[in-house]
Structure 1
Amino acid sequence: MSGIVTALDSVIGRLADLADTPSIPYRTAVVWLSGLQTAWELYVDRRQIPKFSVPIPPPELKNHLKKDTFKKAQAYGRDKLNYSIANTIYSFAVGLAFIYFGVYAATWDSTGRFMARVGIAASRTIVHSLLWMAYLTLITAIPGLAWSYYYTFVLEEKHGFNKSTVKLFITDTLKTWLLTAVIGLPVLAGFLKIIDIAGKNFVAWLMLFLLGIQLILQIVFPIFIQPLFNKFTPLPEGELRTRVEALASKLKFPLTHLYVIDGSKRSSHSNAYFYGLPWSKRIVIYDTLIKDSTPAEVEAVLAHELGHWYLSHPSRLILIAQGHLLFTLVIFSIFIHNKALFEAFGFDPRLAVSSPSGGSQPVVIGFILYQLLFEPLDTVVKFFMNSKTRKYEYQADAFAVQLGFKKELGDALIKLHVNNLSSPHSDRLYSAYHHSHPTLPERLRAMDDYTGEHWLKLSPQAKKEEIAEQHKKED
């Protein structure tokens, strides 16, 4: 094992030397990569636009979408897409401005001057790093409020989904910022301290640290954090509670609590989920789902969700995420001391190896610059993750169907689709890139095969031929 570690260190060292070359135009590379990513996303979005002009719903939904509802769904989808396109262009422009005007280096220097004014020693690198990150977060978050406000009070309001108030919007924002500071800053401090202590061996220790943080947040978030935003009440006795408890017992799901959440306080969209430790799980159902569905349909939705648990989908996704994190940190170890990268963005290149003020190296700068360079490559990761989650959705649907909930799950999904005004038509590439779930027509057709494997394995052309054949039979 030690031989493998030594060989890996040698490879990383050689790659780091090759990457730390002044002739590499890192600043230009980031601009071009970001531009290509933006162009790609705009291209994918552009492919979806014609779908909102299709005059009739898919055949699987033609008996469930009234004419006016179909028009509303098309209009809602078009407005959301236009919003997404505008936000993508805005984000690219802001990122470009940050690079062009040297905002990253300028804010690092300004937070250093602030520390000097208030009497904080320049050698306290971690304090400087936390102030810098807080500053960067604020100057991007404050303009972002306008986008959030528009989405909530203009777009969602226009289509009848917004239930929030300006007061609630403001308090939610302040709570989110406070929680981000209370949780995020200590985690970042720990992240930087581990790298400072562990040196070149930081990857393994950082993996353990971040895995521990993720597990803690999974437990803490629904118990202590989400109640700051929503009210949880026990599901009252009745048919629905009896059905859910019987389903959990049948599957040996370790159900300990069953809650209703007041999702209608902010939106009329619906959802249901579970969380907790392996031996103690809690199920949460949105009040909007209960209001719009029969007890049998809610039970079918939960059969789908418990299918994810039964088939170990959450655990598999955690393992995939850890693999991606490991890859990210290993590549970061190549760039952590890259003087050429620091200098390309206006930083003192000495900061790549140490702090001129006598403190530890400001690792956070290298990590942010590294993210700027490699973030566009996450486009590939996004495709991969969506392909996995879509497959898991088919499997969870099949699980519910095999339990005897085919009709109820289909009816529930159709109601959710109709009530949420989900887009009836989706471009194949757009859906693969943006959607973690298959489209509703795909799910309904897959459920007819009980496992979903038949439809999942078909080529796009074969799917079109099957649809055409089905149309002939219906006519």
Structure 2
Amino acid sequence: MDLLHTQLAVVQRQLAFVATDPIDWKLYVQAFSWTVTFFESYLLLRQFPLYSKTSPPDVLAAHFDEETFAKSQAYGRDKARFSLVSGLYKQALDSLLLQYGFYGWAWDVAGRGIGQFGYGPEYEITQSIVFAAVLVLSSSIPTIPLSVYQTFVLEEKHGFNKTTPALFVADLVKGWALGLAIGAPFLSAFLYVFKWAGDRFVPWLMAFLLVFQMSMVVIYPTLIQPLFNKLSPLAPGELRTRTEALAARLQFPLNHLYKIDGSKRSSHSNAYFFGLPWSKHIVIFDTLIKESKPDEVEAVLAHELGHWHHAHPTKFLVISQAHIFTVLALFPAFLHAPAFLRAFDFSPAVAVQGPTIVAFLMFQMILMPLEAVVSIAMNAVSRHFEWQADRFACDLYPRFSSPSALANASETEKAEVEGMRDMGDRLAKALITLHVKNLSTVWVDWMYSAYHHSHPTLTERLRALEGFRLERAKKE
């Protein structure tokens, strides 16, 4: 531990200029935040001409009729316009809040608020919670019209919206209530670790964040998600039989198999798994069950179990811990730099005091260019994991059809294995069905995809699936 802190101290000495050099940090944030926004707008403009194409890629020509493809293009075009306008609107709002000292004002409001109940500046954690609440409400209310338009105009226009106005308001209120119920204790503990550990907070804070992440794996699907969606046991039938047999063969620790009423809000489809290493739960959207055949849903689940087989969630967790460590290792230099907070219009008294939540929020703004690069890198890792999961689904038949694997198998088990022969073809059909039903964009600019997409495009995945099939055919 001492070696770690010694190395962290070296980093802080390299960043000593933060507390001494007269740097216009506000200008830095404004310049880079607008640079990122303009770059994202540029990517949208690169993508936009592709919505004028009148026919799908050759590999999809047999699956999109003219009317459906036209609807897909129109939907993509409308989403792109919305993203362009909403992105510029949000950036303009954030820029104005930053330029005119909103964050310093919010901290002062929080201080006056707790002062009404007899709490002074020494109650930093209490003031920080009120400060966070003021920020969330003040910054989210102006974006509500965007959410209303997206839900009741854009999604409604293209036939996807199932949300009623009452449900929209209820979700909004629930979201704010949950933010307070979970955010306040989390923020309290987060700041307490800072105060308790002093300048040696990095390993302790990482441990706290890891425990919190692992806790949310259990808390979110069991306590939070039921507030918004109903999870019910998947009814007996072909899909349940196929799923349980697949999980058993792969030794996936399946504990519960659920159907979720995703159609309550949208007609988009999905499936996922969650849980602790020894107890997993699979959740399938009712829209996916409705739109795809049981054998196609099974192929989608085989892909999802590929993520489990390759330990992708664990690998993402490790990567995220490395990212968090890097961020926390850089932070102390900004925490102890009054000039840094003064650059964002905080009063001299507040800047000298250096409230942790204030310094950390401003520090996060400084990291914006780095976070954009990290996002691109994480998308690249995610796409690699998607290739692996697709290949896993395709390789199930070779995995279980070897003579050694079938040596003691019953006739029923041999039939199940034989049914895996076309798993790759079924996965391809399921992906196509999902894209057709969701009116997903099938012409995608490579640069736009690299920045925004955590999954390969449909045409890329179909080509890869065909390559896996041909590779297996040669081996056989």
TM-score, with normalisation over the residues of structure 2? 0.91
- The equivalent of 2:418 in structure 1 is none
- The equivalent of 2:435 in structure 1 is 417
Conserved? CA contact 2:101–2:346, under 8 Å = no
Aligned-pair CA distance for 1:13: 3.4
Measured in 2, the distance between the counterparts of 1:102 and 1:345 equals 7
- The equivalent of 1:43 in structure 2 is 42
The code of the aligned residue for 1:122 comes to P
**Alignment equivalent of 1:395, drawn from 370, 388, 391:** 388
Measured in 1, the distance between the counterparts of 2:336 and 2:470 equals 49
Conserved? CA contact 2:111–2:120, under 8 Å = no
Conserved? CA contact 1:398–1:452, under 8 Å = no
- The equivalent of 1:216 in structure 2 is 215
- The equivalent of 1:81 in structure 2 is 80
Measured in 2, the distance between the counterparts of 1:323 and 1:4 equals 14
- The equivalent of 2:457 in structure 1 is 439
What percentage of residue pairs aligned between the two structures are identical?
Answer: 48
**Alignment equivalent of 1:374, drawn from 367, 383, 391:** 367
- The equivalent of 2:239 in structure 1 is 240
Measured in 1, the distance between the counterparts of 2:468 and 2:22 equals 58
Q: What 5-or-longer segments of structure 2 have no aligned partner?
A: 397-420, 472-476
Measured in 2, the distance between the counterparts of 1:216 and 1:235 equals 25
Conserved? CA contact 2:307–2:313, under 8 Å = yes
Measured in 2, the distance between the counterparts of 1:218 and 1:192 equals 22
- The equivalent of 1:365 in structure 2 is 358
Distance change (3 Å), C-alpha of 1:131 and 1:426: same
CA shift digits 1:257-313 (9 cap, x unpaired):
111111111110001111111111111111111111111001000000001001111
SS in 2 for 1:249: helix
* 1:161 has 2:179 as partner: no
Aligned-pair CA distance for 1:15: 2.7
Aligned-pair CA distance for 1:352: 4.4
Task: Trace 1:139-218 onto structure 2 (pairs within 5 A).
Answer: 139-218=138-217
Conserved? CA contact 2:254–2:279, under 8 Å = yes
SS in 1 for 2:468: coil
Measured in 2, the distance between the counterparts of 1:376 and 1:451 equals 41
Conserved? CA contact 1:398–1:451, under 8 Å = no
* 1:249 has 2:242 as partner: no
TM-score, with normalisation over the residues of structure 1? 0.91
What is the RMSD of the two structures over their aligned residues, measured on CA atoms? 1.6
Aligned-pair CA distance for 1:451: 8.3
Aligned-pair CA distance for 1:142: 1.1
Measured in 2, the distance between the counterparts of 1:28 and 1:235 equals 55
Conserved? CA contact 1:12–1:333, under 8 Å = no
Moved more, 256-265 or 442-451: 442-451
SS in 1 for 2:367: helix
Measured in 2, the distance between the counterparts of 1:44 and 1:337 equals 38
The code of the aligned residue for 1:412 comes to A
**Alignment equivalent of 1:450, drawn from 468, 473, 476:** 468
Aligned-pair CA distance for 1:7: 4.1
Q: What 5-or-longer segments of structure 1 have no aligned partner?
A: 355-360, 454-475
Conserved? CA contact 1:263–1:288, under 8 Å = yes
Measured in 1, the distance between the counterparts of 2:136 and 2:372 equals 23
Measured in 2, the distance between the counterparts of 1:370 and 1:280 equals 38
Measured in 2, the distance between the counterparts of 1:301 and 1:69 equals 23
Number of equivalent positions:
447
SS in 2 for 1:20: helix
Conserved? CA contact 1:446–1:452, under 8 Å = no
Measured in 2, the distance between the counterparts of 1:3 and 1:115 equals 41
Measured in 2, the distance between the counterparts of 1:99 and 1:316 equals 36
**Alignment equivalent of 2:377, drawn from 384, 388, 398:** 384
Aligned-pair CA distance for 1:334: 2.1
Task: Trace 1:288-307 onto structure 2 (pairs within 5 A).
Answer: 288-307=287-306
Aligned-pair CA distance for 1:238: 1.1
Aligned-pair CA distance for 1:74: 0.3
Aligned-pair CA distance for 1:6: 2.0
Conserved? CA contact 1:301–1:412, under 8 Å = yes
Moved more, 119-128 or 189-198: 119-128
Measured in 2, the distance between the counterparts of 1:2 and 1:365 equals 28
CA shift digits 1:67-116 (9 cap, x unpaired):
01000000000111111111110111011101221111112112222222
Distance change (3 Å), C-alpha of 1:204 and 1:418: same
SS in 1 for 2:20: coil
